[in-house]
């Protein structure tokens, strides 16, 4: 097996102003908690401490971890997307419709490194037959001469699910000295992508000896053809060639993007020389950006049996259409500023979104192609205060629908106990809620609430893309007599005052947690003085740009 690595690749999405600021505040208010099985042994606890002490830089992924001190070999099996003997005119196409077993396009994949593919072919597409979890791409320039090797520079590699929308995975680049070494090279890209079609766009005169599209068979996460489920991903490994008999323990650890340990699982096995062992971890809860590390120990000595851990990172988007979980029914978007919605979708897929004014029937549509690390973004332009809208987003046969949406002025309430203090926590507020006026004020669709209660007790410990939400903690709702008593009293009176004075809808996002230092609520790296022992209230209004003419891809039409 060959050694490869997946480099860290951080590319943050831009989102609508309200959604972006929500995400920042939620990130600041959420802790990446270390989760342990309550029944974990002392060994697991010790291993967790050792894992968290590891260097936070991205470690190379080793397909087979073998070193001088290795007591056993452990690897995740990898295979070619299509075996050389399975490549036929049915699954290999070129721009000139050529297929020649003695050379030409077929020689790129004939499995014989000494066979030169020749030149003159502009592009070649290989059909793997079904979606594959692509790991990396290897290529060997024609070793006949340095000029032949250099001719390969500029060649580009692409992947696609449908043979229509292709995502660029890498380009052949020269070495530091300006030449391309006469040796195997590897194209590494971020995370795991599910692709069926693999395309090579050859540079003029390119001459290759061999190209391999490598797929990882160790990931067992498909619940249906082409549907990769990160929330119950499984991993398969093979262990063999034990140097001596020893009781082994294989640990699989899940880290978030900030390298904070989230979960850990263990499989025990008594390793014996000459035997092969299949090791499988099931139902691993993986999120985008997570790292997976697999470590093997001699349980009798607590020493590592394999010096370097297997390491994976999931930075490729899920094969499903997704959007941040702070989008929900009853949500409010910021009025009078560009509405930009964003999310993830299968690479190369076309994402279409539509907002319909359910009162007038007017519809606004937009689209984008998921690219990069499968991100998409659609700008609808500015909408005025008020209205009743529905939003639908669809891609690759999947659809997300949201109802009862409106526009208004969004305010974020963050702070400590004074800001967190519930309306029902003091007598005036409790008495108000019992009156006819109080009940009337507390039941209105003009005020929308996202109340995060105690999320974020540990402060801004790490970036969180999707905080855990439930019906009472996080999702948008209209102001109701049931919700109002447990809303921040400051936020309640503030929203009611704004609504009465300006006649505009008001959105409340409450992320206040008592007895926390204000420093914990600032983004990492911000410089602020110590505030131990004080109680601070903070409210931040999202900026708003008044209506302006929007010239973009916004499409207005009247539904029938």
What mean pLDDT is reported for the chain? 75
Q: How confident is the model at residue 325 (pLDDT cuts 50, 70, 90)?
A: confident
- What does the CA dihedral 523, 527, 533, 535 come to, rounded to 10 degrees? -60
Structure tokens at 135: 């790991």
Q: How confident is the model at residue 231 (pLDDT cuts 50, 70, 90)?
A: low
Residue 118, φ and ψ in degrees, nearest 5: 75, -165
Residue 374: closest CA among 523, 552, 169, 215: 169
Cα separation, 105 vs 120, in Å, equals 10
* HEC string for 103-145: EHHHHHCCCCCCCCCCCCCCEEEEEEEEEEEEEEEEEEECCCC
Query: Biggest alpha carbon distance in the chain?
Result: 90
Cα separation, 533 vs 540, in Å, equals 22
Structural contact between residues 412 and 539, judged by C-beta atoms closer than 8 angstroms: yes
Cα separation, 321 vs 555, in Å, equals 23
pLDDT of residue 14: 33
Per residue in 138-173, pLDDT (tens digit) is 999 988 889 989 999 999 998 887 887 787 788 999
- What does the CA dihedral 146, 148, 153, 154 come to, rounded to 10 degrees? 170
Structural contact between residues 157 and 137, judged by C-beta atoms closer than 8 angstroms: yes
pTM, full prediction:
0.53
Pairing of strands 506-510, 444-451: parallel
Instruction: Compute CA distances 48 → 45, 70, 252, 295, whole Å.
Output: 5, 21, 10, 11
Residue written as token pair 């891809």: 553
pLDDT of residue 57: 31
Give the contacts of 441 (CB within 8 A, at least 6 positions apart): 432, 496
pLDDT of residue 54: 39
For the chain, counts of helices (H) and of strands (E)? 7, 30
Per residue in 44-86, pLDDT (tens digit) is 445 544 444 433 332 323 333 444 468 998 887 788 999 999 9
CA angle 467, 524, 422 (to 5 degrees): 50
Give the contacts of 86 (CB within 8 A, at least 6 positions apart): none
Structural contact between residues 176 and 74, judged by C-beta atoms closer than 8 angstroms: no
What domains can be seen in the chain, in order of their start residue?
54-76+220-313 (2.60.40), 79-216 (2.60.120.260), 332-541 (2.60.40.10)
pLDDT of residue 69: 66
Per residue in 439-472, pLDDT (tens digit) is 888 889 999 999 877 665 444 343 445 565 666 6
Measured over the CA atoms of residue 219, residue 220, residue 224 and residue 229, the dihedral's sign is negative
Cα separation, 2 vs 229, in Å, equals 27
Burial 137-159 (b: 16+ CB within 10 A, else e): bbbbbbbeeeebbbbbbebbbbb
pLDDT of residue 378: 96
Percent of the chain with pLDDT over 70: 70
Cα separation, 280 vs 267, in Å, equals 8
Q: Measured between alpha carbons, how far apart are the two ends of the chain, in Å?
A: 60
């Amino acid at each position: 097996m060959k050694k490869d690595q997946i480099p860290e690749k951080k590319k943050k999405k831009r989102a609508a102003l309200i959604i972006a600021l929500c995400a920042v505040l939620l990130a600041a208010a959420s802790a990446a908690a270390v989760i342990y099985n309550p029944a974990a042994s002392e060994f697991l606890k010790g291993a967790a401490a050792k894992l968290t002490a590891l260097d936070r830089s991205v470690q190379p992924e080793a397909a087979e971890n073998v070193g001088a001190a290795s007591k056993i070999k452990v690897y995740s099996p990898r295979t070619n997307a299509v075996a050389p003997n399975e490549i036929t005119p049915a699954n290999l196409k070129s721009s000139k419709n050529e297929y020649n077993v003695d050379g030409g396009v077929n020689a790129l994949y004939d499995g014989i490194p000494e066979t030169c593919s020749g030149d003159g072919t502009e592009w070649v597409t290989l059909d793997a037959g079904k979606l594959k979890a692509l790991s990396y791409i290897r290529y060997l320039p024609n070793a006949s001469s340095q000029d032949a090797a250099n001719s390969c520079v500029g060649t580009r590699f692409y992947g696609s699910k449908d043979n229509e929308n292709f995502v660029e995975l890498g380009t052949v680049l020269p070495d530091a000295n300006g030449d391309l070494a006469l040796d195997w090279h590897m194209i590494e890209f971020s995370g795991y992508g599910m692709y069926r079609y693999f395309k090579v766009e050859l540079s003029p005169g390119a001459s290759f000896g061999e190209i391999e599209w490598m797929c990882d068979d160790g990931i067992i996460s498909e619940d249906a053809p082409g549907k990769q489920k990160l929330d119950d991903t499984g991993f398969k490994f093979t262990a063999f060639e034990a140097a001596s008999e020893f009781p082994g323990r294989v640990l699989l650890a899940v880290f978030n993007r900030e390298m904070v340990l989230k979960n850990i699982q263990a499989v025990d096995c008594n390793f014996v020389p000459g035997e092969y062992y299949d090791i499988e971890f099931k139902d691993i809860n993986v999120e985008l950006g997570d790292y997976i590390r697999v470590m093997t120990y001699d349980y009798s000595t607590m020493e590592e049996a394999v010096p370097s851990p297997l390491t994976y990172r999931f930075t490729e988007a899920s094969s499903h259409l997704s959007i941040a979980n702070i989008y929900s029914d009853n949500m409010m978007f910021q009025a009078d500023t560009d509405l930009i919605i964003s999310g993830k979708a299968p690479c190369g897929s076309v994402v279409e979104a539509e907002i319909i004014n359910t009162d007038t029937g007017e519809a606004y549509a937009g689209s984008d192609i998921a690219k990069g690390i499968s991100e998409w973004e659609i700008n609808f332009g500015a909408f005025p205060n008020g209205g009743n809208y529905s939003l639908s987003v669809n891609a690759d046969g999947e659809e997300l629908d949201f109802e009862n949406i409106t526009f208004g002025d969004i305010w974020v309430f963050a702070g400590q106990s004074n800001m967190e203090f519930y309306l029902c926590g003091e007598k005036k507020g409790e008495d108000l809620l019992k009156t006819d006026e109080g009940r009337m004020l507390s039941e209105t669709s003009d005020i929308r609430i996202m109340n995060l209660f105690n999320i974020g007790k540990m402060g801004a410990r790490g970036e969180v893309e999707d905080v855990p939400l439930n019906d009472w903690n996080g999702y948008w709702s209209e102001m109701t007599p049931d919700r109002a008593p447990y809303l921040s009293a400051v936020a309640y009176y503030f929203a009611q005052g704004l609504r009465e004075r300006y006649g505009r809808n008001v959105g409340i996002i409450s992320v206040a947690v008592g007895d926390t230092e204000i420093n914990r609520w600032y983004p990492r790296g911000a410089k602020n003085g110590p505030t131990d022992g004080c109680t601070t209230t903070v409210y931040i209004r999202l900026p708003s740009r008044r209506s302006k003419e929007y010239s973009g891809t916004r499409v207005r039409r009247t539904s029938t």
